[in-house]
Amino acid sequence: MLAENHHLTVYSVGSTIEKNEDASARTNRLVAGASGDNAMSEPKRVAIIGASAIPVGRHQTADAEELHTLEHEVLLRLVLEATRDAGVDKRDIESLVFTLPRPYTRQKYLHTFMIGKLKLPCRGTVLEVMGNGMTAALALDQACNEILLGRAKVALALGINMETAVSAAEHAMSSMRTTGDVDFHVPAGFTPISWYAMDAARYMHEHGATQEQLAAVAVKNRYHASLNPLAQYRKPVTTQEVLAQRPIVEPLGLYDVPPRGDGAACLVLASEEVARATGRPYVLIQGRGFQHDGSHQISDVPNDMIGFEAARAASAQAYAEAGITASDLDLAELYAPCTIVEILVSEALGLVPRGRGSIAALDGETTLGGRIPISTSGGLLSRGHPSYVTSLYNYVEIAEQLRGRAGERQVKGAQWGVATGELGNYNAALVHVFEGVQ
């Protein structure tokens, strides 16, 4: 059972479904009635119509505890909240794409176990996906494909990441084995934060960036997180406080790197016809780009290590498909595990000029109210980084912002947004461009 002392608050956006409307009639109206004359003449597009998540934090319970927080109980609540937000019935769902849970998850084959708990026959696909840090981004992508391929008119992208009750040593070893090259990284103890520290040192060498400029990213993200009920750390910090933290891997300190955290989120995706039929605001996925640079985390071929070429190429694909340029964007939710990564990927996506990402952060260009707000959720540094579902939280923020429901952190008039996922040190990138429809 779900422990009372580990009660999880679920947040969703959107209004409550009208109680007087019969559920079966609603299903027929939204799904069966979504194929009109326009469906034959318009290109098929996919929309995010509902979202729900728990606050990032410590939710996992240790084996020795009397009562446990069970992953499926958390996800069941999220499915109900997200479908309510979307204005669809559970029976409308035809495909579900789960992020692969951490190896510490008690229930294996979680995807089919969840289908059993939901008592939900599906004609589409039910599966789990895995791609390290890109796992959640791939879940969204696969859920989109289910709709584009005609297997579903409504699909879920969802998942849960539990890790905080596992010892730091065990978690570090698991992460090393997952991400590292067994011939080099693992024996040398070359952790992911080490990759990013190398990036930071190179960037500071090439562009004269300072630790104060890197710290500006952490300060900005904590400010954004202070306005987000889903964020793990909400107390604002100063530049001096960031610089005073103990070093992790030089030149990165404690507030330059992400915390460990548990999290879970659910997104409801639908064909554009279904989205229209709900009569509610929705978010169209207008562009998608992917690029892998052919290396495993750190390239053994001399290259521009801070160019993030995969992100540059993937974003160019996504912008072209959406028919926009970087200058059309109103906000960005970036998969950026460290301060330096946000700086580098913002440059690779064309949000700021090359070599000026750290200056843009210091000058307030990427803060709410600035030219191009980045990580309005608080980002991985402050909202939190439950890695296998991190990108789902990015999409939750995009859905809130582009539907005008972000409260105090709302970007005024936001219509276009971009979100990224990465495989490791941006050796691969998955970029999605979104447009809000009110």
Give me the DSSP letters along 65-103. SSS---HHHHHHHHHHHHHHHHT--GGG--EEEEEPPPT
Q: What pLDDT was estimated at residue 368?
A: 98
Please check whether residue 52 is in contact with residue 158, taking contact to mean a CB–CB distance below 8 angstroms. Answer: no
Is residue 39 assigned to a domain? yes
Looking only at the bridges linking them, the beta strands covering 11-12 and 252-253 are unpaired
Which of 61-70, 187-196, 332-341 has the largest mean confidence? 332-341
The pLDDT of residue 27 is 47
Q: Which pLDDT band holds residue 336 (cuts at 50, 70, 90)?
A: very high
Is pLDDT at 34 greater than 90 in this prediction?
Answer: no
C-beta contacts of 233-237 below 8 A and 24+ residues apart? 233/259, 233/378, 233/382, 233/384, 234/378, 234/382
In this predicted structure, what is the pLDDT of residue 37?
A: 44
DSSP-assigned states of every residue in 147-200: HHTTS-SEEEEEEEE--TTS-HHHHHHHHHHHHS-TTTHHHHT--HHHHHHHHH
Question: Is 211 among the domain residues?
Answer: no
How many folded domains does the chain comprise?
Answer: 1
**Inside any domain, residue 117:** yes
How far apart CA 191 and CA 20 sit, in angstroms, is: 55
Q: Given this model, what pLDDT does residue 166 score? A: 78
Domain assignment present for 175: no
Residue 159 and residue 179 in contact, taking contact as beta carbons nearer than 8 Å:
no
pLDDT at 210 over 80: yes
pLDDT at 11: 53
Percent with pLDDT over 90 in the chain = 72
Q: How confident is the model at residue 36 (pLDDT cuts 50, 70, 90)?
A: very low
The predicted structure's pLDDT at residue 79: 97
Six-digit token pair at 270?
Answer: 């639908």
Q: How many CA atoms lie within 13 A of 394 on its CB side?
A: 38
Q: What is the mean pLDDT of residues 290-314?
A: 90
Is a pLDDT exceeding 60 seen at residue 17?
no
Rounded to two decimals, what is the model's pTM? Answer: 0.90
Q: Indicate if the alpha-carbon torsion angle 314, 316, 320, 322 is positive or negative.
A: positive
pLDDT at 382: 98
User: What pLDDT is attached to residue 123?
Assistant: 92
Q: Virtual CA dihedral for 399, 400, 405, 411, nearest 10 degrees?
A: -100
pLDDT, residue 363, reads 97
Range with top average pLDDT, 3-17, 28-42, 51-65: 51-65
Residue 376 · residue 333 · CB < 8 Å: yes
What value does the mean pLDDT take over residues 412-426? Answer: 95
Residue 179 lies in a domain: no
The verdict on residue 150 lying in a domain is yes
Considering the domain boundaries, does residue 325 fall inside one?
A: no
CA dihedral 208, 212, 214, 215 (to 10 degrees): 180
Weakest mean pLDDT among 11-15, 107-111, 177-181: 11-15
Mean pLDDT computed over every residue of the chain:
89
**Residue 23 scores a pLDDT above 60:** no
Average pLDDT on 327-342 reads: 98
Cα separation, 307 vs 150, in Å, equals: 38
What letter does residue 407 receive in the DSSP assignment? Answer: G
Taking the chain, what is the end-to-end CA distance rounded to the nearest angstrom? 40
Residue 9, pLDDT > 70, answer: no
How confident is the model over 82-97, as pLDDT tens digits? 999 999 999 999 999 9
pLDDT at 345: 98
- What's the confidence (pLDDT) of residue 28? 52
State which residues form the domain around 134: 4-166+262-280
Residue 426 has pLDDT above 50, yes or no: yes
| pLDDT confidence tier of residue 132, bands split at 50, 70 and 90 | confident
The neighbour count for residue 29, using CB atoms within 10 Å, is 16
Least confident of 187-196, 240-249, 269-278: 187-196
Whole-angstrom Cα distance, residue 272 to residue 317?
A: 22
Within a domain: 18 = yes
**Structure-model confidence comparison of residues 27 and 187, the more confident one:** 187
Return the CATH number at 80: 3.40.47.10
Check if the beta carbon of residue 147 is closer than 8 Å to that of residue 44: yes
CB 29 within 8 A of CB 277: yes
Task: Find all residues with CB under 8 Å of 116, minimum gap 6, and list them.
Answer: none
Contact between 249 and 193 under an 8 Å Cβ cutoff? The reply is yes
Tell me how far apart the alpha carbons of residues 406 and 418 are, in angstroms, rounded to a whole number.
16
For 245-266, what is the mean pLDDT?
95
- Any idea which residue has 């084959």 for tokens? 109
Question: Is the pLDDT reported for residue 365 higher than 90?
Answer: yes
Which residue, 430, 437, 388, 427, is CA-closest to 144? 430
pLDDT confidence of residue 3: 41
SS3 425: coil
